[in-house]
Chain A
Amino acid sequence: MFRKIAIVTGLGLALAGAAEAQTPRKGGTIRMTAPYGSSFTSLDIHTTQRAQDEIYAKALHRSLYTWDSAEGKPVPELAKEVTVSGGGLVYTFKLRDDAYFHNGRKMTADDIIWSYNRIMDGTKAYPGARFVRVIEGAAAVEKGQAKEISGLKKIDDFTLEMKLTEKVDPGFYFFTALTSIYPADEGAKESFIQHPIGLGPFKFVEHVPGSRIVLERWEKFYKPGKPYADKVIVSIMGEAAARDVAFRNKEIDTSVLGPAQYVAYQADPNLKGTIVEVAEVFTRYMGMNPAFKPFSDKRVRQAINYAIDTDLIISKLVKGKAYRATSWLPLTSPAYDKAMKPYAYDPAKAKQLLTEAGYPQGFEFEWTTSQNESWGLPIVSAVIPMLDKVGIKAKVKQVETAVLAEVVRTGDYQAFIYSQQSGPDPLAALKCFHSSTPQPACNYMNFKNADFDKILDEAGQADDAAKRTQLLQKANALLYEEAPVWFFNYNKAVMAVQPWLHGIQQNPTELTHQNTEELWVDETSPAK
């Protein structure tokens, strides 16, 4: 069971509790915001893996699975029943026979097969290929050696068999919008990118590039009585200050808050109750390159963890909008070990470790960073004097976020500060540290440890869930000990939600990604 520590603070808790007890109201408009840039990337959701795009895609499309925030795990969405056979490698899905695309056609197994074959088209490089590749024969399609994925078999219109290459939970692979199911006939047309058709609770009405997407209720949505709202408008609002004005002016229903706004909203009695928080599955850290001699020594890496007063930085600079990281797996991970304690702030211990490692006078390194306010230059600037106290000098190299992403993939750094997805699947998250994972994939510190590999391989083969969790916790503890990074924090996602909007799900994979069919507005909404 996925642990959930999502919190609704203050008055919000009382209000939310009272509101959820009400009967959901039909009608009205939900006015969401997309805060991560000035545009949506594409209306072809198979082509884009930006969090920004999944906000609208959650209303428009459906995948084989969906993320259930209450359960804290992916659950079947387009299948009524799933049976597992073949030693955990064969999944048989009894599909819904009441799921209609927005053009009125009923979804069948052919649409799922068509969609996954499309994603594996090697000439198009769809990002969802990394998920679909887990199906047997998908890689052959990607390489152009086959036309269709051999591991997908249509038993009948509403029964689909899927054979996997490894023993994993397909829910973690097929719940994001990257693997959305398209209508086979329409999805192939050029016009699809201008007027997308999906299976979601809302159908496409209008896209004003750089401004908004408008969707309206799909009457033939398969969940009885849902969606509640008539319309969803997702406005693109990249500027936090502008969102703040619009939220206070009641023009929008949701607004993602940064650290400064988080403090301001907490201090404002009128806004405090609007705050919704969740520990997202992102770990912030300083990665250390083992090819840089001082960082090849575990004691040096541990010394850095002891030398930094992480709690102070989280409270003063990040304004409490983060949870202290103990090791790699975040609080909301099913394999998070709450008995683990983070590295204590202990400069004397850091000095001792540096001396033992042969660096009594410390050393100098270059620290590559972006300008990000939560895990970039401001944090680096605060850490530098702390490291200086134990003799370690850090030289800042500032780059754009796009450049930083390239730097970490190529290993062209001595140290860098970053935010990386560390869930929801703990096995996939820890695989980033497996020696078989190439550096550009997600093993950015080029971590290699035979003991770690062994534990993780055992976890991957474990049939018993408890045994698997135990092994994953062991691997996570080993990472703590090896300290390939300075464990900084787990992101606390914070969103202000107007009191008239109900049904918000505390989604740790990304708080802005809401199953819109669950949302409803009461009669106090200006857009009722």
Chain B
Amino acid sequence: MSLSTSKEAGRPTRRGARPAPVKTAGPRPRSRKPAFTVRRGLAIAGFMAPAVLFVAVFTYYPMVSGSQMAFRNWNLNDLTDTSWVGIRNFQAIFRDPVFYTVLDNTLIWVVASLVPQLVIGFAIALWLRRRFRFRGLYQALVFFPWAISGFLIGILFRWMFNSEFGVVNDLLSKAGLIDEPVPWLAEPKTAMAAVVIANIWYGVTFFAIMILAALQSIPDELYEAAELDGAGKVRTLFQVTIPYIRATLALTVLLRVIWIFNFPDIIFGMTGGGPSNETHIVTTWMITITQQGDYGKASALGLVVVALLMVFSVFYLMATREKKGARS
């Protein structure tokens, strides 16, 4: 089983592009990958089996099972007839006028939440990167919202935005900014604004955490060099900081878009999709369809969501792909 590394020394590496390192008297070179044998293959398969089984049972089986529901008459209120219905569930979605309201709302929900989250999160990360007293405490306070359940945040903000008893109107009134209570959750536009505000408060933390981690990887020498070259703060931000963490930013934004898109908790807690469906996004609408027992239609909507997000992800990754040598 043991392989002699000395026999293989000097051969080109697997990539073949670079020559093998020349042997020196220094530390022993890393042992190379042993050849594949049946016994080794079985051992690898044995180790992987539990994980593969777990993923197959708990991820892929529900996914496939859920997907086939989209093409069947699968209504929990009457499971005596679960026959195949082709694309009827998809037609039901595309013919439902609520679907188009929901798509508009989802777009507003994602964009209006994402941009402020990114900007404020970035600002907080830049602030937290500096060394100052009680920095650890501030970091803990900033990251705190991420530890709270989204639904609970929804309930809290529902009371805060309550027109008659809520703290928001009370503060605005005491500050002299409003004469009479704003019916935040009763009007479509103000209701959407309220849920977006709650989501911004919640999501800023994620950007702050991710960007702070990326900022800490930037070598101080780069800033010193920029300073020597006479770059100001703004120029340093756009020509040193952002280019250096561009990959992290791109990935974080992609993750956040997908998560915000699929994040019904706050809306469900605050408005339940109302008034008159005006704050429903795709996933809150999917929950209401599930509550009706129509798992066929809900699964079809789920597949539409997956398709939309896949198309977005492909275009986004293509648009943000770093060209070779772009950073250098």
The judgment on whether A and B are partners is: no
* Chain B interface residues (CB < 8 Å from chain A): none
